[in-house]
Amino acid sequence: MGNAHTPPQPPRDEPDVGGQPAQEPDLIKKIVSQHNKDKVNDNTQTGAFPVVGKRKAKAKGKVKRLSTSSRSLKARLGTGVLIAVLCALLAYGYVIQINNKDLTYETMSETELTRLISESNTQVQRLEQRKAELTRQLNSLEEAADKEAQAAQIAKENEEASGILSGRLPAHGKGIVVRITQGTKAPIDASTMFNLIEELRNGGAEVIAINNVRVVTSTYVSESDNGLICDGKLLEAPYVVKAIGDPSNLQNAVNLAGGVGSRLTVKYGATVTTEVSDDVNITQTQLVERYKFAKIVE
């Protein structure tokens, strides 16, 4: 704080001997000197400038002074009030912003809204492109899965069909069961039994078995002193022939007049019975033949 300047006291009027005031030149010099001092004090660079109070003549001759500390206190009070008002305004604006979240788009300018719509459209287009790409991939996977499933199904069916035809797999289905007793007139020869197999095949038999032998494309029937031989296995009477296929066609193939069934009865004196069944089970199988010369064409 600067040094407060104490205003000079007015000079007392001293009467001279004759009752007249003191000489005026001395009083004027004092006033000019004091005025110069006041100018110097006013130009002094301090944190707070000294305040020189004006002298006012009052009835009692007292002079009012406003001290620097009073001015500083008022300035501080004013600054505090201003800061408090600014804080209140800031809090009010924050509350208004929170309460008006739903009005964000309403307060945006036309340019900002246009930019926001453009960005949204771009994002929608990218999402649509991604969706289309994923859909194509899904369709490709489904098609591939369907193709693999179809190929697996076809392979399984072919395997089953080839397994049944080759005699590797057992089979069951509609068909007939033919029972032939030993001939009373003559032993049944190999050619007659082979003709029975051929007649059943011509009647649509898909799977055939004689006793415990599965009949395949390479099956043969021969004769021995002990009886008939089928694929190296001895056949003993009564002969049981199972055939899977259309029952009526197979039955007609055996019982046809002048056919193999009649010849077995008339020529050999055998008894031939045919039974139709909805579930003929053929459990006999053949080992897969290993071919030496035949190869699959690639």
Domain covering 172-282 in this structure, CATH number = 3.30.70.1880
Q: Any alpha helices (H) in 100-246, and if so which ranges?
A: 104-107, 110-166, 190-202
Is 80 exceeded by the pLDDT of residue 37? no
Residue 221 forms beta bridges with which residues?
230
- What's the mean pLDDT when you consider all of the chain? 78
pLDDT computed for residue 39 by the predictor: 67
Is 50 exceeded by the pLDDT of residue 191? yes
Is 90 exceeded by the pLDDT of residue 247? yes
Both tokens of 109, joined, read: 């300018």
For the purposes of burial, counting CB atoms within 10 Å of the CB of 180, is it exposed (0-12), middle (13-18) or buried (19 or more)? Answer: buried
42 compared with 271, residue with greater pLDDT: 271
Both tokens of 279, joined, read: 């579930």
Residue 229 forms beta bridges with which residues?
222, 234
Measure the CA–CA gap between 178 and 168, rounded to whole angstroms: 23
Q: Which residue carries 């004769």 as its tokens?
A: 223
> What is the mean pLDDT of the segment spanning 126-155?
84
221 compared with 1, residue with greater pLDDT: 221
pLDDT band at 69 (very low <50, low <70, confident <90, very high): low
25 compared with 143, residue with greater pLDDT: 143
Is 80 exceeded by the pLDDT of residue 217? yes
Is 80 exceeded by the pLDDT of residue 236? yes
Is 50 exceeded by the pLDDT of residue 292? yes
Is 50 exceeded by the pLDDT of residue 15? no
Q: Which of 110-124, 189-203, 262-276 has the lowest mean pLDDT?
A: 110-124
Q: Where are the domains of the chain?
A: 108-166, 172-282
> What is the mean pLDDT of the segment spanning 153-172?
85
